[in-house]
């Protein structure tokens, strides 16, 4: 009997290369990845989400993970998690509601990778603010991970370097 795919959280601030890294890792392992639902939400509505839509975005992300998990092999790479939704809710709206905080606290992933905010910052329509915001959110993310006792790998460098770092780290984790 094969074991279920290990869910790997790919976290990071805006324009830090999460999607590119998740796609590259999925290609490396011949598996699937879960794109960030927020991007689809913004494109479909042609606006950024409101505070009262944050929980919907996070739960939809989880639903997409569950569906993709049925098609994944060995690993399922998740481009963001409810934790990032909560952090951005705090940043933009001053707080995340209790349900979103509870969902973010679950953080049920086999491993967590943080994409370093060292790639060139690129504006992307409605979803991008500035490199200053990216650095602030990254610091907030790292702080939250430390607070929660969540171990993570900080992936840095160009895409091949990041993939190599994550592959080496996952191979060690998968042996345990």
Spell out the domain ranges in the chain: 6-175
- Contact, 73 vs 30, CB < 8 A? yes
pLDDT at position 122: 78
Q: What is the pLDDT of residue 174?
A: 67
Tens-digit pLDDT profile for residues 28-39:
999 999 999 998
Q: What is the pLDDT of residue 125?
A: 61
pLDDT value of position 1 = 47
CATH class of 6-175: alpha beta
Task: Identify the segments of the chain with pLDDT beneath 70.
Answer: 1-2, 124-128, 174-176
First to last CA, the chain: 18
Radius of gyration of the chain (CA): 15
| pLDDT for the residue 30 | 97
Q: What is the pLDDT of residue 41?
A: 94
Residue 42 to residue 23: CA distance in whole angstroms: 20
Model pLDDT, residue 176: 46
């Amino acid at each position: 009997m094969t074991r279920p795919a290990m869910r790997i959280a790919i976290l990071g601030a805006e324009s830090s290369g999460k999607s590119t890294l998740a796609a590259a890792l999925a290609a490396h392992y011949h598996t699937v990845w879960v794109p960030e639902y927020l991007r689809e939400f913004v494109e479909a509505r042609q606006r950024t989400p409101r505070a009262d839509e944050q929980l919907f975005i996070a739960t939809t992300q989880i639903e997409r993970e569950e569906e993709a998990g049925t098609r994944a092999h060995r690993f399922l790479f998740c481009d963001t998690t409810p934790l990032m939704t909560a952090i951005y809710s705090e940043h933009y709206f001053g707080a995340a509601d209790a349900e979103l905080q509870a969902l973010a606290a679950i953080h049920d992933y086999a491993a967590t990778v943080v994409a370093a905010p060292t790639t060139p910052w690129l504006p992307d329509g409605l979803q991008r603010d500035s490199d200053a915001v990216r650095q602030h959110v990254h610091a907030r993310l790292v702080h939250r991970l430390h607070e929660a006792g969540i171990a993570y790998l900080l992936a840095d460098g160009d895409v091949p370097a990041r993939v190599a770092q994550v592959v080496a780290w996952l191979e060690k984790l998968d042996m345990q």
